[in-house]
Amino acid sequence: MSDLQLSVLIIDENRIRASIIEDGLREAGHTRVQTIYDVSEVARTITSAPPDVIVIDLENPKRDTLEHFFSLSRAVRKPIAMFVDRSDTRSIEQAVEAGVSAYVVDGLKKERVKPILDMAVSRFNAFSRLTRELEEARSALEERKIVDRAKSILMQSRGLGEPEAYALLRTTAMNQNRRLVDIAQSLITAADLLSP
Protein backbone atom coordinates (compact mmCIF):
# COMPACT_ATOMS: atom_id res chain seq x y z
CA MET A 1 0.00 0.00 0.00
CA SER A 2 1.47 3.38 -0.95
CA ASP A 3 1.79 6.16 1.60
CA LEU A 4 -0.99 8.16 -0.08
CA GLN A 5 -3.43 5.25 0.18
CA LEU A 6 -3.00 5.01 3.94
CA SER A 7 -6.13 5.58 5.96
CA VAL A 8 -5.46 8.30 8.51
CA LEU A 9 -7.54 8.93 11.61
CA ILE A 10 -7.27 12.40 13.14
CA ILE A 11 -8.31 12.74 16.78
CA ASP A 12 -8.81 16.32 17.91
CA GLU A 13 -11.47 18.01 20.01
CA ASN A 14 -10.63 21.35 18.40
CA ARG A 15 -12.19 21.51 14.92
CA ILE A 16 -9.97 24.38 13.71
CA ARG A 17 -6.77 22.58 14.66
CA ALA A 18 -8.09 19.32 13.19
CA SER A 19 -8.79 21.10 9.90
CA ILE A 20 -5.13 22.24 9.78
CA ILE A 21 -3.99 18.61 9.96
CA GLU A 22 -6.63 17.44 7.52
CA ASP A 23 -5.76 20.21 5.03
CA GLY A 24 -2.06 19.33 5.30
CA LEU A 25 -2.76 15.68 4.58
CA ARG A 26 -5.18 16.36 1.72
CA GLU A 27 -2.78 18.86 0.10
CA ALA A 28 -0.10 16.15 0.31
CA GLY A 29 -2.41 13.80 -1.61
CA HIS A 30 -3.96 11.73 1.20
CA THR A 31 -7.58 10.99 0.39
CA ARG A 32 -8.53 8.49 3.11
CA VAL A 33 -8.71 10.87 6.07
CA GLN A 34 -11.27 10.62 8.87
CA THR A 35 -11.57 13.06 11.78
CA ILE A 36 -13.23 12.51 15.12
CA TYR A 37 -13.75 15.30 17.61
CA ASP A 38 -15.17 13.31 20.51
CA VAL A 39 -12.45 11.42 22.39
CA SER A 40 -15.04 8.97 23.74
CA GLU A 41 -15.63 7.76 20.16
CA VAL A 42 -12.00 6.74 19.62
CA ALA A 43 -12.23 3.09 20.70
CA ARG A 44 -15.40 2.43 18.71
CA THR A 45 -14.02 4.15 15.60
CA ILE A 46 -10.73 2.24 15.74
CA THR A 47 -12.56 -1.06 16.24
CA SER A 48 -15.07 -0.53 13.44
CA ALA A 49 -12.66 0.89 10.86
CA PRO A 50 -9.04 0.41 11.91
CA PRO A 51 -6.87 3.19 10.44
CA ASP A 52 -3.34 2.68 9.13
CA VAL A 53 -2.07 5.76 10.98
CA ILE A 54 -3.43 7.84 13.85
CA VAL A 55 -2.76 11.54 14.32
CA ILE A 56 -3.62 12.93 17.75
CA ASP A 57 -3.68 16.65 18.47
CA LEU A 58 -3.93 17.77 22.08
CA GLU A 59 -4.20 21.49 22.68
CA ASN A 60 -3.88 21.31 26.47
CA PRO A 61 -2.81 17.79 27.32
CA LYS A 62 -3.88 16.74 30.81
CA ARG A 63 -2.11 13.82 32.42
CA ASP A 64 -5.26 11.62 32.34
CA THR A 65 -5.79 12.37 28.65
CA LEU A 66 -2.17 11.59 27.85
CA GLU A 67 -2.40 8.32 29.81
CA HIS A 68 -5.54 7.39 27.84
CA PHE A 69 -3.79 7.98 24.51
CA PHE A 70 -0.61 6.22 25.64
CA SER A 71 -2.64 3.13 26.55
CA LEU A 72 -4.38 3.44 23.17
CA SER A 73 -0.97 3.53 21.49
CA ARG A 74 0.09 0.32 23.22
CA ALA A 75 -3.17 -1.41 22.25
CA VAL A 76 -3.59 -0.50 18.57
CA ARG A 77 -0.04 -1.17 17.35
CA LYS A 78 -0.27 1.40 14.60
CA PRO A 79 1.91 4.41 13.83
CA ILE A 80 0.81 7.33 15.99
CA ALA A 81 1.85 10.95 15.54
CA MET A 82 0.97 13.13 18.50
CA PHE A 83 0.92 16.93 18.45
CA VAL A 84 0.87 18.71 21.81
CA ASP A 85 1.16 22.41 22.64
CA ARG A 86 3.32 21.86 25.68
CA SER A 87 5.01 18.94 27.35
CA ASP A 88 7.40 17.84 30.05
CA THR A 89 10.15 15.24 30.23
CA ARG A 90 7.92 12.66 31.91
CA SER A 91 5.24 12.93 29.19
CA ILE A 92 7.85 12.53 26.46
CA GLU A 93 9.28 9.45 28.19
CA GLN A 94 5.79 7.97 28.55
CA ALA A 95 5.08 8.63 24.88
CA VAL A 96 8.26 6.83 23.83
CA GLU A 97 7.50 3.90 26.17
CA ALA A 98 3.96 3.69 24.80
CA GLY A 99 5.25 3.47 21.23
CA VAL A 100 4.15 6.88 19.98
CA SER A 101 6.09 7.17 16.73
CA ALA A 102 6.26 10.97 16.54
CA TYR A 103 5.72 13.31 19.48
CA VAL A 104 5.73 16.92 18.32
CA VAL A 105 5.63 19.78 20.82
CA ASP A 106 4.30 23.14 19.61
CA GLY A 107 4.78 22.27 15.97
CA LEU A 108 1.36 22.14 14.37
CA LYS A 109 1.72 23.70 10.95
CA LYS A 110 -0.06 22.47 7.85
CA GLU A 111 3.14 22.02 5.83
CA ARG A 112 4.76 19.92 8.57
CA VAL A 113 1.95 17.35 8.86
CA LYS A 114 2.95 15.15 5.89
CA PRO A 115 6.68 14.88 6.77
CA ILE A 116 5.83 14.15 10.40
CA LEU A 117 3.31 11.49 9.33
CA ASP A 118 5.92 9.93 7.03
CA MET A 119 8.43 9.91 9.87
CA ALA A 120 5.90 8.31 12.23
CA VAL A 121 5.19 5.50 9.75
CA SER A 122 8.89 4.99 9.07
CA ARG A 123 9.81 4.90 12.78
CA PHE A 124 6.90 2.56 13.53
CA ASN A 125 7.99 0.17 10.77
CA ALA A 126 11.61 0.23 11.96
CA PHE A 127 10.56 -0.38 15.55
CA SER A 128 8.21 -3.20 14.50
CA ARG A 129 11.00 -4.83 12.50
CA LEU A 130 13.41 -4.62 15.46
CA THR A 131 10.76 -6.02 17.80
CA ARG A 132 10.06 -8.91 15.41
CA GLU A 133 13.81 -9.65 15.06
CA LEU A 134 14.21 -9.58 18.84
CA GLU A 135 11.30 -12.01 19.29
CA GLU A 136 12.76 -14.31 16.62
CA ALA A 137 16.16 -14.23 18.34
CA ARG A 138 14.56 -14.98 21.73
CA SER A 139 12.58 -17.82 20.22
CA ALA A 140 15.66 -19.27 18.52
CA LEU A 141 17.58 -19.08 21.81
CA GLU A 142 14.76 -20.83 23.69
CA GLU A 143 14.57 -23.53 21.02
CA ARG A 144 18.33 -24.04 21.21
CA LYS A 145 18.13 -24.44 25.01
CA ILE A 146 15.40 -27.06 24.59
CA VAL A 147 17.41 -28.98 21.98
CA ASP A 148 20.56 -28.79 24.15
CA ARG A 149 18.66 -30.13 27.16
CA ALA A 150 17.23 -32.99 25.09
CA LYS A 151 20.70 -33.81 23.76
CA SER A 152 21.97 -33.87 27.33
CA ILE A 153 19.23 -36.31 28.35
CA LEU A 154 20.10 -38.62 25.44
CA MET A 155 23.82 -38.38 26.17
CA GLN A 156 23.26 -39.39 29.81
CA SER A 157 20.59 -42.04 29.28
CA ARG A 158 22.06 -43.70 26.19
CA GLY A 159 25.76 -42.91 26.59
CA LEU A 160 25.87 -41.02 23.28
CA GLY A 161 28.21 -38.24 22.24
CA GLU A 162 26.77 -34.85 21.38
CA PRO A 163 26.83 -35.35 17.57
CA GLU A 164 25.10 -38.74 17.89
CA ALA A 165 22.44 -37.33 20.27
CA TYR A 166 21.74 -34.49 17.85
CA ALA A 167 21.59 -36.90 14.89
CA LEU A 168 19.10 -39.09 16.76
CA LEU A 169 16.87 -36.10 17.50
CA ARG A 170 17.11 -34.93 13.91
CA THR A 171 16.37 -38.36 12.42
CA THR A 172 13.39 -38.81 14.74
CA ALA A 173 12.04 -35.37 13.75
CA MET A 174 12.39 -36.17 10.05
CA ASN A 175 10.80 -39.63 10.43
CA GLN A 176 7.84 -38.17 12.31
CA ASN A 177 7.62 -35.09 10.08
CA ARG A 178 7.86 -32.82 13.12
CA ARG A 179 10.08 -29.94 14.07
CA LEU A 180 13.29 -30.79 15.89
CA VAL A 181 12.37 -28.57 18.83
CA ASP A 182 9.01 -30.36 19.20
CA ILE A 183 10.74 -33.75 19.41
CA ALA A 184 13.21 -32.30 21.91
CA GLN A 185 10.38 -30.89 24.04
CA SER A 186 8.56 -34.24 23.97
CA LEU A 187 11.73 -35.99 25.15
CA ILE A 188 12.17 -33.47 27.99
CA THR A 189 8.54 -33.87 29.05
CA ALA A 190 8.86 -37.69 29.04
CA ALA A 191 12.12 -37.54 31.01
CA ASP A 192 10.51 -35.23 33.57
CA LEU A 193 7.59 -37.64 33.96
CA LEU A 194 9.89 -40.63 34.40
CA SER A 195 12.32 -39.02 36.82
CA PRO A 196 11.70 -39.72 40.51
| Shared-domain flag, residues 80 and 141 | no
What was the pLDDT predicted at 178? 95
Q: Are residues 55 and 76 in the same domain?
A: yes
The CATH code of the domain that includes 161 is 1.10.10.10
Res 2: pLDDT: 54
Same domain, 118 and 40: yes
Same-domain status, 66 and 28: yes
Q: What is the pLDDT of residue 3?
A: 57
Q: Report pLDDT for 31.
A: 86
141 and 126 together in one domain: no
CATH number at residue 91: 3.40.50.2300
- 80-84 and 102-105 beta bridge pairing: parallel
Q: What is the pTM of this model?
A: 0.64
Same domain (yes/no): 114, 38:
yes
Alpha-helix runs per DSSP H in 28-161 = 42-48, 63-76, 89-98, 110-158
User: Are 26 and 77 within one domain?
Assistant: yes
Asked if residue 127 and residue 140 are part of one domain, the reply reads: no
Strand order in the sheet with 102-105: 33-36, 8-11, 53-58, 80-84, 102-105
Each residue's pLDDT, cut to its tens digit, for the chain (196 residues) gives 455 588 888 888 888 888 888 888 888 888 888 888 887 777 777 777 788 888 888 776 666 666 777 777 667 788 888 888 777 788 778 777 777 888 887 767 777 788 888 888 888 888 889 989 999 999 999 999 999 999 999 999 999 999 999 999 999 999 999 999 999 999 999 998 888 7
Contact 32, 6 (CB under 8 A): yes
pLDDT score of 85: 77
> 81 with 167, same domain?
no
Helix-then-strand count for the chain, H and E: 7, 5
Range of the domain at 190: 136-194
